[in-house]
Amino acid sequence: MKDSELNKLLRSVRPPERSPEERMEFADGVVRQLSRPVRQSSGAGGIGNMRVPLLGIGFALVCLVLGFLVGRFPEKQVEAPLVAVTAPDYGKLFKEVALLFPDRLRGVVVRGSEVELLLAEHPARPATNPLLVEICQNGRCRTVLTFSGQKLEVDGHTIEVLTGADDRLIVLADSQVWTSQNPAEIVDGFRINAHFLSANL
């Protein structure tokens, strides 16, 4: 099967509709499984501490990443003489993950084609629109999708995003302050960009 045929097949299949109760039950089950203590392994040190992913979560995440990559590299651009990579649709990504985990999503971290979900232990309805924060340090960049007031651990760094008056954005990176009023400012080696994300949640 060609890539174009697979793409058309994936786009033609409609996912089954789930009720709000089923979505909440799914999210609660995922958080319960991730919160369970993991047995220590007597074999190789450290391996016993790894969490065993659930088959359903693994399948859902694989579908999510595949859909994200298909949207990121559309077929029509492959036919062009020079291939231009379009910007990922982070709003669509965030919305689809938020539907999988209603009131549980604290953030999404994107590193290239790798997607990491940060979930809350207890449901909490976010009071603000989602935000997109791009953070680069030493040539390594990651994109964080989150809400105002969330404090996240990203690659060993503490990231907190706040909204101020007149929709001004403030990013705290390891207690260093960046604001949208001075977007070109480099804060303690971090190059930061942030703006509101149009996800229509």
For 83-139, how does the pLDDT look when each residue is reduced to its tens digit (9 = 90+)? 444 567 888 888 888 888 888 899 999 988 888 999 988 888 877 788 999 988 888
Quick: pLDDT tens for 163-184.
877 778 988 888 788 888 888 8
- The ranges assigned to domains in the chain are 3-196
- Identify whether the C-beta of residue 88 lies closer than 8 Å to the C-beta of residue 195: no
Q: Which ranges in the chain belong to alpha helices (H)?
A: 3-12, 20-35, 55-72, 75-78, 90-100
Question: Dihedrals φ, ψ of 108, to 5°?
Answer: -130, 130
Average pLDDT over the chain, rounded to whole? Answer: 74
> What confidence tier does 75 reach under pLDDT thresholds 50, 70, 90?
very low
Supply the pTM of this predicted model: 0.57
Average pLDDT over residues 22-37: 72
Residue-level pLDDT at 49: 40
Residue-level pLDDT at 83: 41
